[in-house]
Amino acid sequence: MNLLNTIAKAVFRQRIAQIDHFRLFPHEVQDQTFQALIRQAQATEWGRKYDYASIKNPDKFRERVPISTYEDLFPYIERMMCGEQNVLWSSPVQWFSKSSGTTNARSKFIPVSKESLTNCNFKGGKDMIALYVDNYPATKVFAGKSLSIGGSLQTNHLNSQTKYGDVSAVIMQNLPFWAEYLRTPSLKTALMDKWEDKLEAMARETMRVNVTSMAGVPTWTVVLIKKIVELSGKPHIGEVWKNLEVFFHGAVSFTPYRELFKNLIPKDTMNYLEIYNASEGFFGIQDQRNSEEMLLMLDYGVYYELLPIDQIDQPNPKAIGLEQAEIGKNYALLLSSNAGLWRYLIGDTIRFTSTKPYRIKISGRTKHFINAFGEEVVVENAEAALAKACAATAARLANFTVAPVYLQANANGYTQGGHEWIIEFDQTPDNMQQFVEILDNTLRQINSDYDAKRHQNIALVAPKLHIAPQGTFYEWLKSKNKLGGQNKVPRLSNTREYVEEILKIMGLKMHKLH
């Protein structure tokens, strides 16, 4: 294994020179990607519709091809799922990644071509390791196994020749042999479809393995770690996996989970590396030690555009190229990819922390924010405020969601608006009043719109907070059939749908306790 560790590190380091190339020449690399995508899609139905053969530059592309949501592309994707080919992309598409759909209740099915699988998903996974090795040259990560939590796969009822599932399951099913050798648990266990059975099987199988790294969504990794600690009888997971050194995490912000993981893995030598992977592809990797920024990966067959936030609801929104990006501004991310997504509004908002090279932070979702009273609170605001409140009150967060309390008529006129928080703690604050005050004050400090609405309670009163019993959010996800995989709790919503459902579950849990 030590020899394997040495050889593997040498192999992965070779990629760094190519990454350095697009760091130095981002626009040239993106232009090459753009030209290749247009050329490969010219003969598709979509390419013929918009005459890709005559598109020579991004300006003509933006002028001719509309920005697309999933709903816009769904009729084409549905035909592909029925077996039609050469619709959105030139090569045969046999796989679809299923998203739970955090922007609406309906599942989304994203085409996965052989090009996107190899040049985006697999390449992203390899680069994740390459950048880690570059930052931690003494690593022994290859001396053991990498634990990854996957979803499940299903045969497409529209066409038995195609399959769909969580993107992690699609990737696992297609991994090259060397990558499969380096991971755990077995494919049979990793792709089990019943989450609670899989959790038990994964825990029992992996607790006896020399796990040196983990990759997955923080939410579900926490559940697995706790299960293994329970079964092993050890005080913490570091006593089970003595050589564990890194957690590659993505899909949700790590900010609310950072202190929880420090408690679950009390090792000073434990490292954390953030990645930006989604059902639509792999887009960013943390490339610096002790950083919360991710390098935007520019040579994965994905062409990026940016939609300024004030353009989202415009009838003819105007997108810009990377070269016009400004540090500190929020943009909705648009992508055209080697899976046949064209000027696709992925639903994430990003903020650039650097443009030389292009580094980003995910700031929220285009439909996950609260703006009921003009306060424009985004997920990044909420998570920063929670982190500060937790640090000041020795609290550890497990999960949360927030919704507005809308104005309502009463005998004295109208009740005032506000925000209602439901928080599940792994460790409750030592002073709840102080926690709420710091949460509120931090939001006021980092969001001027929220501060203006809170001034003298003009439009918003102080936040209302419910402490959810442990396991509440798990029960809610279970009730929605969304356990495991990349399923996650919507953090912010302009409606009260999620809050009301979770409050109902809280009521049932409290009733059982009494």
pLDDT band of 269, cuts 50, 70, 90:
very high
pLDDT band of 354, cuts 50, 70, 90:
very high
Quick one: tokens of 215? 């990759």
Q: Mean pLDDT, to the nearest integer, of 140-163?
A: 89
The predicted structure's pLDDT at residue 105: 37
pLDDT band of 300, cuts 50, 70, 90:
very high
CA dihedral 101, 103, 104, 110 (to 10 degrees): -40
DSSP characters for 418-471? EEEEEEEEEE--S-HHHHHHHHHHHHHHH-HHHHHHHGGGSSB-SPEEEEEPTT
The predicted structure's pLDDT at residue 369: 76
Q: How far apart are CA 131 and CA 120, in angstroms?
A: 16
Report the mean per-residue pLDDT for the chain.
90
Residue with the bigger pLDDT between 70 and 412: it is 70
DSSP characters for 319-357? -EEGGG--TT-EEEEEEEETTS--SEEEEEEEEEEEETT
What confidence tens digit (pLDDT) does each residue in 361-394 have?
998 777 777 877 778 788 888 999 999 999 999 9
456: left (phi over 0), alpha (psi -120 to 50) or beta: left
- Contact (Cβ atoms closer than 8 angstroms) between residue 93 and residue 85: yes
Assess whether pLDDT exceeds 50 at residue 492.
yes
The predicted structure's pLDDT at residue 72: 94
Percent of the chain with pLDDT over 70: 95
What confidence tens digit (pLDDT) does each residue in 189-211 have?
999 988 889 999 999 999 999 99
The predicted structure's pLDDT at residue 409: 47
Quick one: tokens of 481? 């059939």
The predicted structure's pLDDT at residue 509: 59
What is the CA 253 to chain-centroid distance, rounded?
Answer: 7
**Number of H-type helices and E-type strands within the chain:** 19, 23
The predicted structure's pLDDT at residue 510: 54
Q: Mean pLDDT, to the nearest integer, of 206-235?
A: 92
Q: CB atoms < 10 A from the CB of 446, how many?
A: 15
The predicted structure's pLDDT at residue 154: 87
pLDDT band of 44, cuts 50, 70, 90:
very high
Residue with the bigger pLDDT between 218 and 228: it is 228
The lowest-confidence range among 37-51, 76-90, 150-164 is: 150-164
What confidence tens digit (pLDDT) does each residue in 106-129 have?
578 999 999 999 999 999 999 999
Listed by start position, the domains of the chain span 369-513
What confidence tens digit (pLDDT) does each residue in 387-432 have?
999 999 999 999 999 998 876 544 554 567 899 999 999 999 999 9
CA dihedral 448, 450, 451, 453 (to 10 degrees): 120
The predicted structure's pLDDT at residue 276: 95
Assess whether pLDDT exceeds 60 at residue 512.
no
- Element of type H or E holding 183: strand 183-184
Q: What is the pTM of this model?
A: 0.81
Longest dimension (CA), the chain: 78
pLDDT band of 256, cuts 50, 70, 90:
confident
What confidence tens digit (pLDDT) does each residue in 445-491 have?
988 778 878 888 877 899 999 999 999 999 999 998 888 777 788 88
Percent of the chain with pLDDT over 90: 66
What confidence tens digit (pLDDT) does each residue in 473-484 have?
999 999 988 887
